[in-house]
């Protein structure tokens, strides 16, 4: 059974439970409203709710597909809101979908692929009857706020990994796997940003536009949802910038290290060129060469080689090439 929780509320308090297969329990008295939570329901279960609460066929079709971007659709005197949930799946961000049908006396949440149930949220709202008595529009705000709050642990976890990469990149070369991880994180953050944009629009529309089932005094609550989405979007953009900086800093550090190694090699090559050149000249076996038969010729050549090499070594050391 995909029904997680289904109750009728009146004056901010739970009145009774709902059985989808009992037509009598779906009757809602004036002043009351139903809050039904479903997880990956079947077509038959949604069809029961469609006939009882006069849900729009297009909205029901979207709820069954579960592949929509965040949006707000108005169907007569009812609202259909799509929100995207997010969670970490190992090193990647996994996405789910929550579809919300809102009418004058009902709110139906349909979850797909989200591991975070609304039971904790329902208990929290039931503990505050003064808030719950606002009705379905306040619950809509609470559900959207619950979904957006689930984004922050994702950003926090990625931020810790990014900061660890930043510290490591300043001390050592990034391996191929670490470079691929940086680009993988950037790709995940870009996908996340594409979800946050429509979520901002959803919260903004619910706050600023006149919508059925959303009272004027409840509309400012959606400003809080909008601010939370904007904050997450700002953090995501900052993390993308940090990842770019980590890669650029790592590249600069690697170039600097390679330059230092190149200078050392060039310095040693210059030092070794002296004995190589002298030894090459005297290895030509010509009959007539300066000091070839001199008693101290070999010693003099070695002294000259050592003196020149020591001079070059000292100069390169002072210039920090060695």
CA distance 186 to 160: 14
Q: Report the predicted TM-score, pTM, of the whole model to 2 decimal places.
A: 0.77
Do 152 and 87 touch, CB atoms closer than 8 A? no
Structure tokens at 278: 């002298």
pLDDT band (50, 70, 90) for residue 252? low
The 3-state DSSP composition of the chain as helix, strand, coil percent (nearest 5) reads 60, 20, 25
Q: Cα separations (Å) of 261 from 10, 98, 154, 268, 317?
A: 77, 56, 41, 11, 14
Q: Is 12 helix (H, G, I), strand (E, B) or coil?
A: coil
CA distance 290 to 314: 29
Do 97 and 82 touch, CB atoms closer than 8 A? yes
Do 100 and 143 touch, CB atoms closer than 8 A? yes
Long-range contact set of residues 74-78: C-beta below 8 Å, sequence gap at least 24: 74/211, 74/212, 76/212, 77/103, 77/104, 77/212, 77/213, 78/54, 78/102, 78/103, 78/212, 78/213
* Of 4-13, 169-178, 189-198, the least confident: 169-178
Tell whether the model's pLDDT for residue 80 goes beyond 90. yes
- The residues that bridge with 75 in the sheet, in sequence order, are 78
CA distance 53 to 27: 10
pLDDT 10s digits, 192-246:
999 999 999 999 998 888 888 888 888 888 999 999 999 999 998 888 887 777 7
The pLDDT of residue 140: 93
Return the DSSP state at 41.
-
Do 322 and 313 touch, CB atoms closer than 8 A? yes
* Of 81-90, 144-153, 282-291, the least confident: 282-291
Return the DSSP state at 56.
-
CA within 13 Å, CB half, 183: 6
Tell whether the model's pLDDT for residue 1 goes beyond 60. no
Counting Cβ atoms within 10 Å, is residue 321 exposed (0-12), middle (13-18) or buried (19+)?
A: middle
pLDDT band (50, 70, 90) for residue 82? very high
Length of the chain: 322
Counting Cβ atoms within 10 Å, is residue 29 exposed (0-12), middle (13-18) or buried (19+)?
A: exposed
Q: Assign residue 179 a region (left: φ > 0; alpha: ψ between -120 and 50; beta: otherwise).
A: alpha
CA distance 256 to 12: 66
């Amino acid at each position: 059974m995909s029904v997680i929780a289904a109750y009728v509320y009146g004056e901010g308090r739970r009145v009774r439970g709902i059985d989808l297969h009992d037509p009598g329990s779906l009757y809602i008295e004036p002043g009351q409203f139903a809050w039904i939570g479903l997880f990956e329901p079947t077509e038959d279960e949604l069809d029961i709710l469609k006939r009882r609460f006069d849900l729009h066929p297009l909205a029901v079709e979207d709820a069954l597909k579960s592949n929509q971007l965040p949006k707000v659709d108005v169907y007569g005197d009812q609202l259909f809101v799509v929100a995207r949930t997010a969670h970490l799946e190992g090193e990647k961000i996994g996405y789910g979908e929550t579809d919300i049908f809102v009418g004058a006396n009902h709110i139906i949440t349909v979850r797909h692929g989200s591991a975070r149930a609304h039971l904790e949220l329902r208990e929290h709202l039931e503990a505050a009857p003064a808030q719950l008595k606002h009705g379905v529009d306040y619950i809509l705000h609470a559900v959207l706020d619950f979904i957006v709050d689930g984004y922050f642990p994702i950003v926090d976890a990625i931020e810790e990994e990014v900061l660890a990469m930043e510290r490591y990149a300043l001390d050592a070369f990034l391996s191929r796997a670490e470079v691929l991880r940086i680009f993988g994180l950037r790709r995940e953050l870009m996908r996340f940003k594409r979800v946050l944009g429509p979520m901002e629009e959803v919260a903004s529309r619910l706050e600023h536009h006149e919508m059925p089932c959303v009272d004027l005094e409840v509309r400012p609550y959606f400003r809080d949802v909008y601010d939370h989405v904007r904050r997450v979007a700002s953090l995501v953009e900052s993390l993308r910038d940090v990842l770019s900086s980590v890669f650029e800093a790592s590249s600069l550090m690697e170039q600097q290290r390679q330059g230092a190694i190149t200078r050392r090699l060039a310095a040693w090559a210059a030092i070794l060129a002296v004995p190589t050149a002298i030894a090459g000249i005297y290895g030509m076996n010509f009959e007539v060469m300066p000091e070839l038969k001199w008693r101290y010729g070999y010693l003099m050549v070695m002294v000259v080689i050592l003196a020149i090499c020591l001079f070059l070594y000292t100069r390169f050391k002072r210039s920090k090439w060695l």
